[in-house]
Chain A
Amino acid sequence: MATGTTRIWRGAGAIGGFVVITLLTFIGLMAITFFIGRVIPIDPVLAVVGDRATQEQYDAARAAMGLDQSLPVQFLHYIGDVFRGDLGRSVSTNRPVAEDLAVVFPATLEMATLGIIIGVAIGVPLGVWAAARQGTWIDQVIRVVALLGYSVPAFWLGLVGLAVFYAGLGWVAGPGRVDIFYEGLVEPRTGLMLVDAALAGDWEVFFNALDHLLLPAAILGFFSLAYIARMTRSFMLDQLGQEYVTTARVKGVPEWRVIWTHAFRPIRVPLITVIGLSYAALLEGSVMIETVFSWPGIGNYLTVALLNADMNAVLGATLVIGAVFILINRFSDVLYRILDPRSR
């Protein structure tokens, strides 16, 4: 039997391992962005001094940027800069990349969070339903819907969604976060438009922002729904094949109780990992959706920077998305280990 102290030790060990592995992965991520920044064919010095500079000016600028040092030293400087929050300056916005990212990130967070809520609220019941009706046409339909989540391009679904629900039916508002005349009305306290509007008590802005958010979030949610439903179904099938479920059925427990209390309870822990993974995937998927919906989030920032060859902004955004992605992955991994009764 695990006593309280061993459980605490196990928790501490898990957190220690979590910190070490996460740090190593971060350094790996920085090594990749550093490497990408070095192989680009654009000469960063030339971009600063211009092509009319003399050799002396060029060399001086090169030394000032630290590019005359060896690669390992440059990498250490780069790590130091990143940990101090210095991601360089964006060429197109002429502001520090870190400041830009702080402005755009909440917009992505808002969309991804509503997306995952939609994905979990619909995906989990669908997966359970498919497993409970295994082999019937309901199961087949849910399986194909889930596979569509792996086969439909997000940007295409976004465009079709705009054409149908915005232009065709007029159910939702179009691209952007709010209508143009509502812009800048509420003071950005958290950067989350819904929260800011609610805090300011400005319900007109709140509902307008919700109107704009609904379609992109629902489309993002569809992709997490597909993954969550698929995984829920396979977890549930594992449980429903177990003998304790047969025992419960033989004892005359009603079917809904067999499914929701007996079979569903043990899969909650692995589901947390699945939800964590799909939340991280949503942050990534938002790149395409944001481009289609002109949503001023980090994905849109990244693609605009890509098209302008604004490398500091590209690498900064890559680093931040990568870091959040890794953090969510690691966190759900640790949570799984702490919650899973078999590891106690």
Chain B
Amino acid sequence: MNEHLLLEVNGLKKYFQTKRGMLHAVDDVSFTIERGKTLGIVGESGCGKSTLGRAILRLLEPTAGQVFFEGEDIAKLSKEQMRRKRKEMQIIFQDPFSSLNPRKTISETIAEPLRLNGIINDRKKRMEKVLETMEIVGLAERLINTYPHELDGGRRQRIGIARALAPGPKFIVCDEPVSALDVSIQAQILNLMKELQESLGLTYMFITHDLSVVNHFSDDIAVMYLGRIIEKASSEELFTNPLHPYTKALLSAIPVPNIHMKMERILLKGEVSSPIEPPDMCRFAVRCNHCMEKCKASEPPLTEASRGHFVSCYLNRQE
């Protein structure tokens, strides 16, 4: 087992039974994250990125696959063992409105993980820790007894971050933590999360649909399409040398706030096809501008195109 690896996900699947058949939300996904690094998971709505985050934390029970956290397969843990493990693996949610209990004050929300996990049992010491955590995330002490509905989105998201930080996790899944926020607030939160990573040595899995944010924030990026990782590389490499036609289209679709940088836009046909009982072919084939016979015959495996750069596409195969 590699000492540097914090998380290793192997063949993770999460299927949902629906009336029209099996929905393959996450379909055979594997990756690793090193300690102190950030893996960005990018994809459009319905690609399974949020389900992936929840399946890793077992907020949704995985259908199959292994999740090694510090070398231990947490997919095999009993419910009670998993519950004890949760303080080390946390999550920050997208919606700062629905992710906070409207009937709990800020201090109650932040203190809860400390109390439930028996980290600090003394009431007074717990309050000290709450205040300390509030300061770290930039929440003024006077807000301690306010309720979420009295606060704006940015402050609420800080509460969500404080709640995740309080039990002292090593790993945090960030599920679109800034998409509901205004740009000026978004930058505040992104900077905060980055500072926290540096000072506390956190490891992030950063789920988002926003490519410019993920590029700024992540060391490595995995692009998901219909439950699969279709391309994975370092951020630098992925943005300068994208290989998969979907990644290329995705990158070209970002509206750039610069009037001198006109990108050649690749327009995709149609929309994402159904994730229910997908046939054995490239899942992107129906929208792909380079679709070949081979693509419709079988699904291309994820292979290493250059060092550390993985892609699942027949176009880039040197055979």
Q: A and B, one complex? A: no
